[in-house]
A and B are shown apart, each in its own frame.
Chain A
Amino acid sequence: DVKVTQSSRYLVKRTGEKVFLECVQDMDHENMFWYRQDPGLGLRLIYFSYDVKMKEKGDIPEGYSVSREKKERFSLILESASTNQTSMYLCASRALGGQAFFGQGTRLTVV
């Protein structure tokens, strides 16, 4: 079975902190994605990566950065956390053109 693992299920951080959300997949997938999900807004794409060290901005990249140094790992970084970044964060991976496999999500609260 494909497994996408997010490092934390729940996270509470303070305003201004640098926050790292980690995602690891075990299927040698080329594509990896970070989304945030808020009530009534569906899933919004933050960043995605189509290969190691390659990344592209999604629809809402402001306040975020990403890192993909190894194929299996895709990290989302909140440079200086703010309360409006309180959300559910979902990581996904897939083979090129295929279906996406999702992690269990990280519910981040910024206080």
Chain B
Amino acid sequence: SQQGEEDPQALSIQEGENATMNCSYKTSINNLQWYRQNSGRGLVHLILIRSNEREKHSGRLRVTLDTSKKSSSLLITASRAADTASYFCATDEASGSRLTFGEGTQLTVNP
């Protein structure tokens, strides 16, 4: 079964708006990571947040982590049409080297 589950499955917004995606997971983790995938391409790493961190920023990205609720969120501020892609969360499980992905959120940013 999938470790991470993203919500929503699809999100459509206008340029300039903020986009928020959520991820829930089941087991204890070392860290949680977010990736982006443009259509038909490999995944690209965006940001990593460790289990002892609560919030992290990188440019227009803001990630939060709540280990008590086993959930994370990715916020993209001031979105652009070029942000259109699928976004995945991945959990680095504390029990070993396993890196497990969720089903992803398809983000569409309309010009």
The tally of CB-CB contacts under 8 A between chains A and B is 66
Count of chain B residues near A, Cβ 8 A: 26
Interface pair B100/A45, CB less than 8 Å apart: yes
| A35 CB–B CB distance under 8 Å | yes
Cβ contact within 8 Å between B101 and A59: no
Interface residues of A in 68-111 (CB under 8 A from B): 90, 92, 94, 96-105
Docked-complex contact A50 and B33, CB < 8 angstroms: no
A32 CB to closest chain B CB (Å) equals 10
Q: How many Å lie between the Cα of A50 and that of B43 in the bound state?
A: 20
Say whether B97 contacts A50, CB under 8 Å: yes
In the assembled complex, A26 has its CB within 8 A of some CB on chain B: no
User: How long is the Cα–Cα vector from A59 to B40 in the complex, in angstroms?
Assistant: 23
Determine the main DSSP class of A at the interface with B: strand
Using a CB–CB cutoff of 8 Å, the interface residues on chain B facing chain A are 1-2, 6, 30-31, 33, 35, 40-45, 48, 88, 90, 92, 96-104
- 10 tightest Cβ-Cβ pairs between the two chains A and B: A42-B103, A102-B42, A43-B101, A50-B97, A99-B45, A102-B43, A31-B97, A42-B104, A104-B42, A42-B102
Chain A residues within 8 Å of B, Cβ to Cβ: 4, 30-31, 33, 35, 40-45, 48, 50, 56, 58-59, 90, 92, 94, 96-105
